[in-house]
Amino acid sequence: MIWDALLLQLGYNATLVSVGAALLGAAAGITGTFLFLRKRALVADAVSHATLPGVCLAFLVMASLGGDGRNLIGLLIGSALSAWVGLWCLNWLTLRTRLAEDAAIGAVLSTFFGFGVVLLTVIQTAGIGRQAGLEGFLLGSTAGMLFNDALMIAGGGAATLVIIALTRRALTLVSFDPEYASAQGINVSQVDMLMMGLVMAVTVIGLKIVGLILIVALLIIPAVTARFWSERSDIVVLLAGIFGATAAYVGAGVSASAPNLPTGPLIVLMSAGLFALSLFFAPSRGVMAAVIRQQRFQRRVHLRQGLLALAQGQPIYENLTLRLLGRAGLVRPDGVATEIGRARAAKALRDEKRWEILRRDHAHEAAAELYDGLREIETVLTPDEIREIDTKIGPPQEIPT
Amino acid sequence: MSGAEFVPLSLPPIVIGTCAAIACALPGNFLLLRRQALIGDAISHVVLPGIVVAFILSGAISTWPMMIGAAGAALIAVLLIEAIRRLGRIEPGAAMGVVFTTMFAGGVLLLEQTDTSSVHLDVEHALYGNLESLIWLDATGWGSLLDPLALAGLPTELPRMAAVLVLTSLFVAIFWRALKISTFDEGFAQAVGIKTTPLGLALVVVAAVSAVAAFDAVGSIIVIAMFICPPAAARMMTNRLERQIAWSVGFAALSAILGYVLAGYGPLWIGLYDAVSAAGMIATVSGVILALAALFGPCRTRAGAPAGV
């Protein structure tokens, strides 16, 4: 059943929902990356919660004018308008008052959402009826979605992607380095507006599928996930789009395969799964990579200290050091140095002496700064320079046994 | 309106709402000043999976398992946010966004997969609470306030919320000096020997306790609104922390009372027949108070900030 859904075998509407979700996921992931790099990820949370009063007001207006209150286009226009008002309030609070952005986000989010809930109860109790669809905007519902709605979501997602493709250079520059972008002649506040406009577009398009409470996850999680895999902004953007699209596509497919599997939460959980995988297994930024790096470093320190101890004839009590030396074939199991071990130890001690002289010599100040107890001296000095230092030390001495 | 109607139907929700609002606003003041305002938002979202798990494990809607589940979820969320922030080197806002949306999504999915048709547990309830249903059936009028038999029938949320309010106030009172110093100048606080890390964690825990208790009674919208709006409005009124806290308590109480009255009686005044959501109205009123404070408050602008920044 799940394979049927993923291979688009569940009928025309389910296919359209899956494709629409994937386009939405890609648009959200990419938009979210710019937002994340601009360090304004949670602004999206305020924008998405601020859509609720607009949806309700649009419903009330359309119903009181005698039309069908559930017309999706009308509802989405309403949600966009109130999201815009919420965004304006947020910017005003941040710029004109002493409130920090996080407080402004929380204030806008809770007030608008609270007002939306008041309007929801007005609709429920005013006896207008047929309001059942509105709760679906909280958590998203693809069940009973009309063909036209699905088409609109797919179209909206594609249009958002096109706009991003056309403006990606300005978006990247501003989200990375606003001052530099401004020096390049880019109008930063206009690009910020565009960014927020894209966030609004994604939110509004995603209302029906993911719902307003969870849409922020589609913007944040793929971006954070992609950041683990690359240090290059264009690759991060691309990866975020791919992660977002994958999570949305699989989530929508799984949700269509059985009852009681809400679409929005499933998409979010798929994203979270990708995030968890990346957190642990991504190269260089992942947790595993960090652990491996740490272990390697530890081994190098132990080996180095062990060799120095051998060279100076000191006993080694640390088990890990002995094990590492033994495994490298530098000591025998009884703790006595082998032939190679003695040679390496002598070299280590000599290097230490070389470093000592080098660090006392002001002529080598820059090189001396690189000393950390592990670095090979050959990486900072030329053979000639080493030879010159060696003349100050004298010839090799016998290792005490 | 007569006491016979007001005392059983409206007094308990108003008192509970007020206690919840103040209990959230008190720690909210410090969270706001420490730029951690959205912790309240995150906690109120992650309470849902905690409650659902508690329901699945205990099989019933009872208070203590749910409180423990919610508190556990809040703690897990705070630890996860911290872990992701450190392990992944991600900015705190994004880490928070990842954690609370994921946990909330998990909660919704669990809820849909569990058979909860026999009990009153759904996402809407978690969001809006059931303030209106906290009525005191044993009361007959103002006289019942002195009648021990009737007092025994008070909704259990009332004493619990009051206890949490006392706890929060005690925390703020006892650690007042340490909280104040560490909020404004963490480096100085450390220099005079205040352990800032445990204190910050304790503040988050106290906030979580208020959030969980308030959530059970009044839903998560009020929790988010009360953590942020009254302290933010109070911030516009004064530059002194003592006065800011006094203002925020006043604003919180005003939002709760005015919001409840407007929700319960407002629609009647304009000719509608049914009450609207009290939780939503309380949040709305607190937002309106913030808007007024932001427009007219004496200390609304950032001192010393250059124009246009």
Q: Which domain holds residue A155?
A: 2-262
**Geometric angle at alpha carbon B166, from B149 and B75, rounded to 5°:** 115
Same domain, residue pair A345 and A389: yes
Please identify, among A262, A279, A301, the residue that sits at the C-terminal boundary of a domain: A262
Domain co-membership, A229 together with A338: no
Judge if A45 and A184 occupy the same domain.
yes
Q: Kindly state the average pLDDT of the residues A53-63.
A: 89
Q: Identify whether A148 is part of a domain.
A: yes
Interface of B with A in 40-59 (CB under 8 A): 40-41, 45
Domain count, chain A: 2
- CA A110 – CA A121 distance, rounded (Å): 16
Structure tokens at B238: 């004064």
At B215 the three-state DSSP class reads helix
- Cα dihedral angle (A26, A28, A33, A35), rounded to 10 degrees? 160
Cα A314 to chain centroid distance, Å, stands at: 49
- State how far Cα B304 lies from the chain centre: 32
Residue A238 has pLDDT above 80, yes or no: yes
Q: Does the CB of B224 have a partner CB in chain A at under 8 Å?
A: yes
Write out the two tokens for B192.
């005079």
B167 at the A interface (CB within 8 A)? no
Let me know if residue A276 belongs to a domain. Answer: no
The domain that holds A54 is classified in CATH as 1.10.3470.10
Pairwise CA distance, residues B110 & B96, whole Å: 21
Contacts of A45 in chain B (CB under 8 A): 41, 97
Is A87 in the same domain as A126? yes
Query: Do A43 and A167 belong together in one domain?
Result: yes
Question: Which residues, in sequence order, are bridge partners of residue A331?
Answer: A337
Closest CB to A97: pick one of B108, B280, B300: B300
> What is residue B1's predicted lDDT score, i.e. its pLDDT?
53
Task: Say if residue B307's pLDDT is above 60.
Answer: no
* Among B101, B105, B221, beta carbon nearest to A113: B221
Q: Which of A33, A99, A175 to mutate to test the interface with B (most CBs of B within 10 A)?
A: A99
Whether A69 and A62 have beta carbons less than 8 Å apart is answered as yes
B110 in reach of chain A (CB within 8 A):
no
Q: What is the mean pLDDT of the segment spanning A197-223?
A: 89
Reported ipTM: 0.90
Tokens of A41: 């990820």
Closest CA to B42 of B124, B109, B100, B113: B100
- Indicate whether A301 and A234 sit together in one domain: no
Residue pLDDT, tens place only, A122-172? 887 766 555 556 777 887 776 666 777 778 888 888 888 899 889 988 898
Flag whether residue B98 sits within 8 Å of chain A, measured between CB atoms.
Answer: yes
**Lowest-confidence region among A84-98, A282-296, B145-159:** B145-159
Distance from CA of residue B191 to its chain's centroid? Answer: 33
pLDDT band at A284 (very low <50, low <70, confident <90, very high): confident
Q: Evaluate whether residue A268 is within a structural domain.
A: no
Which distant-in-sequence residues (6+ apart) come within 8 Å of B164 by Cβ?
B19, B23, B209, B210, B213, B214
CB count within 10 Å of CB B203 equals 22
Q: In this predicted model, what pLDDT tens digit does every residue of B280-296 receive, in sequence order? A: 899 999 999 999 999 98
Three-class DSSP category at A142: coil
A149 found inside a domain = yes
Q: E strand or H helix at B3, and its extent?
A: helix B3-9
Mean pLDDT of B203-216: 84
Q: What is the 8-class DSSP label of residue A331? A: B
Ranked by mean pLDDT, the top range of A360-369, B116-125, B205-214 is B205-214
What is the structure's pLDDT at A132? 55
A209 with A342, same domain?
no
Q: Mean of the pLDDT values across residues A221-247?
A: 92
Strands, E, within chain B: which ranges? none
* Per-residue confidence (pLDDT) for residue B309, from 0 to 100: 38
Is the domain of A256 the same as that of A338?
no
Residues A97 and A156 in one domain: yes
Same domain, A237 and A381: no
* Domains contained in chain B, CATH given: 3-218 (1.10.3470.10)
Q: How far is CA A164 from the centre of its chain?
A: 19
Task: Give me the mean pLDDT over the B264-276 stretch.
Answer: 75
Helix (H, G, I), strand (E, B) or coil at A40: coil
Substitution target in A64, A89, A102 with the highest count of B β-carbons within 10 Å is A102
Long-range contacts of A356-361 (CB under 8 A, 24+ apart): A357/A389, A357/A392, A357/A393, A358/A389
Region A40-57: mean pLDDT is 90
Query: Would residue A304 count as lying in a domain?
Result: yes
* Residue B306 pLDDT exceeds 70: no
Q: Provide the pLDDT confidence category of residue A79 given band limits of 50, 70 and 90.
A: very high
Residue A98 lies in a domain: yes
pLDDT of residue A266: 92
Residue A219 has pLDDT above 80, yes or no: yes
Q: Determine, yes or no, domain membership for A275.
A: no
- Same structural domain for residues A133 and A252? yes
Tokens matching residue A399 = 């290792």
Cβ atoms A154, A162 nearer than 8 A = no
In a domain, A381, yes or no: yes
HSE of B56, CA atoms in CB hemisphere, 13 A: 15
Note the pLDDT of residue B305: 46
Average pLDDT over residues A72-86: 90
Mean pLDDT of chain A: 85
> Does residue A311 share a domain with residue A211?
no
